[in-house]
Chain A
Amino acid sequence: MTHADSFPMVRNVGLDGMLVTFADKMTEASNRAALAFRGALENAGWEGVLETSTSLASAYVRFDFAQLPHAEIEARLRDLLSSRDWYAAPLPAGRKLWRVPTVYGTDLAPQLDEAAAAAGLSTEEAVRRLSQSRVRVLTIGFAPGQPYLGPLGPEFNIPRLQQLNPMVPEGALVLAISQFVLFSGPTQTGWRHIGQTAFRCFRPEMAQSFALNPGDEMLFEPVSRDAFEQIRADNADGTGGATCEEIAA
């Protein structure tokens, strides 16, 4: 696969970070490359690396430059980059598939009809397509544990709202620009609220505080309002009735 000369790009992030960027747009391939490269960085286990993470199309590494000087880590990153075609790399192993019971629409998620119309679909057709879209955790950010999920089909490339939603609750499934966000806490947003789950992405009181990892996949399966209320009433573990299985490498 060929790319513009400038990508992948290696640049510094402030004093103690480096960013390896695979594209200036989020695509399935640029996101996969970022996740795969970060996986390789973690596996390499270089002394002096303090943490790694990914954004939509980049891998980030923070390092102790007293141990691993800038020139040294940059050379190593370029070596690792040239070791393979990262745009064709498989996703890292150890990922999970989550199936999350979801109420689409109703008073719980009042912007479904509006989002379907913006996508040029009937509400029923929008729900059918969204509920069958197996989406990837593209990155986690903005708030603790909160995933950006996608890519959804091009018909869902709908703009963010001009006016912010005053507040959507934890577990809200919101939609814009061919992506979902599953909110980890109540927040204002310019994304349309199309589904409601009882899935808690951030569970600070539990031993495993974060439910998801970048690269995991999710399916938001429709349930009735009644079924959802039963799930919500018995949700001590915070999973909101979700099931989880390993994705075979």
Chain B
Amino acid sequence: MSLIVNRIGPACTIQDLGRGAYLDQGLSRSGAADLLALHEGAALLRQSPMLAALEMAGMGGEFEATEDTRIALTGAPMQASIDGSPVVWNASHLLAKGQRLTIGAVLKGAYGYLHLGGGIATEPFLGSRSAHLTAKVGRAVAAGDVLPSGPDKGDAGRKLTPAERFSGGLLRVVSSFQTALFDPETLKRFTQTEFRRGPRANRMGVQLESPGEGFAAQGQLDILSEIITPGDIQMTGTGNPFILLPECQTTGGYPRIATVLPCDLPRAAQAPAGGTIRFQFVTLDEAVALHEAFVKDLARLPRRVEPLVRDPHDIPDLLSYQLISGVISARD
């Protein structure tokens, strides 16, 4: 089974949970910017969250099924329709052979996901199917490509209420090894500042802006290049923060003020341009407890999936059901 890509936005890549163990070779993890969305798609299709999906930054595309294919749509909601009839986001659907799935612009958030029953089955590289464009691993999906899917059986027509994370908000952070380079006054100001997501945002990182003075570390120019991990909040030379995402560099000389918890990284990645972001330090013990709760929530996702009942409000092509013409009448 496979989907033919007829049209596609400029920043769509195949992503899974990423490749974990190549930091020593200068290759960061990559993987979906919103890992929660991968788990939601897996729950909707009742399959493994290890399977790869199509990550669509800002804009989707048009896809055609070569066989009957189960799909699910998660992450940032986008306009979506099958053969012209709108379909529900955060749900699984059957795309029958020859049908066209059209996914438009993002409505809120940044990254939407298209999941296929059986997962997207491209050739893995170093144990993962994730593209890593900054490392020149893989490439953006282009018109004319075919997305192959793995063996699949099961049903569709299920929905899930997603965790809200598409308009910025509060991000919990822990201190990291360079936090102490920032004086207490700067750290306090950092947690009291309401930031706005700036125009520069991609899978490497998200720029934040705030009025007033920047957030510089002491001796910022003399700091030895050190390990970078996703979630680190890096202060550039001008003292503007960047939240680093799955395609970040593996080492760098700009100091990191704190690290965003994995459970809040989807919210960071999905913040739209102009969305507000605030930070709150939690202790390592609190962070461990929050992470454990997050892992439990992920494991519970399959049980939160419900049947997709077609509410009349969800049927925009109601007229085509001929309720009025008398074929289906009140007397039937």
Q: Is the CB of A144 within 8 A of B27?
A: yes
The smallest C-beta distance from A147 to any residue of chain B, in angstroms, reads 9
Q: Is the CB of B26 within 8 A of A13?
A: no
Interface residues of B in 20-50 (CB under 8 A from A): 20-27
Of A46-54, A112-120, A228-236, A238-246, the one contacting chain B is A46-54
Question: Could you say which of B26, B226, B284 contacts A140, with CB atoms under 8 Å apart?
Answer: B26
User: CA of A209 to CA of B136 in the docked complex: distance in angstroms?
Assistant: 13
The smallest C-beta distance from A136 to any residue of chain B, in angstroms, reads 15
- What are the residues of chain B within 8 A of A145 when measuring CB–CB? 25-27
Kindly name the residue among A50, A139, A144, A210 whose own CB sees the greatest number of chain B CB atoms within 10 A. A144
B28 to chain A: closest residue by CB: A144
- What are the residues of chain A within 8 A of B176 when measuring CB–CB? 11-14
Question: Could you say which of B136, B177, B225, B229 contacts A56, with CB atoms under 8 Å apart?
Answer: B225
Q: Is the CB of B225 within 8 A of A140?
A: no
- What are the residues of chain A within 8 A of B27 when measuring CB–CB? 144-145
Of A60-68, A79-87, A101-109, A218-226, the one contacting chain B is A60-68
User: CA of A214 to CA of B26 in the docked complex: distance in angstroms?
Assistant: 11
A14 to chain B: closest residue by CB: B259
- What are the residues of chain A within 8 A of B137 when measuring CB–CB? 144, 204
Q: Mark A127-152, 1 if CB is under 8 A from B, else 0.
A: 00000000000011111111000000
User: CA of A58 to CA of B177 in the docked complex: distance in angstroms?
Assistant: 12
Q: Mark A61-77, 1 if CB is under 8 A from B, else 0.
A: 01001100110000000
With contacts A65-B288, A209-B126 known, is A140 near B174, CB below 8 A?
no
- What are the residues of chain B within 8 A of A54 when measuring CB–CB? 24
Q: Mark B155-184, 1 if CB is under 8 A from A, else 0.
A: 000000000000000000011110000000
A interface residue count range (under 10 / 10 to 19 / 20 to 34 / 35 or more): 35 or more
Q: Mark B125-146, 1 if CB is under 8 A from A, else 0.
A: 1100000000111000000000
Q: Is the CB of B224 within 8 A of A57?
A: yes
Q: Mark B103-145, 1 if CB is under 8 A from A, else 0.
A: 0000000000000000000000110000000011100000000
B186 within 8 A of A: no
Of A17-25, A91-99, A191-199, the one contacting chain B is A17-25
Question: Could you say which of A60, A69, A184 contacts B23, with CB atoms under 8 Å apart?
Answer: A60
With contacts A15-B291, A58-B226, A204-B136 known, is A53 near B24, CB below 8 A?
yes
Interface residues of B in 210-226 (CB under 8 A from A): 224-226
- What are the residues of chain A within 8 A of B292 when measuring CB–CB? 66
List 7 other contacts, CB 8 Å, given A12-B175, A140-B26, A184-B26. A13-B227, A17-B227, A53-B227, A141-B251, A144-B27, A144-B136, A144-B137
Task: List 8 tightest A-B contacts by C-beta distance, closest first.
Answer: A14-B259, A53-B24, A141-B251, A11-B177, A51-B21, A144-B27, A141-B26, A53-B23
Provide 16 A-B residue pairs closer than 8 Å at the C-beta atoms, listed in order of the A residue. A13-B176, A13-B229, A14-B232, A15-B174, A15-B291, A24-B224, A25-B224, A50-B20, A51-B24, A55-B251, A62-B23, A70-B288, A144-B25, A144-B135, A209-B125, A210-B25
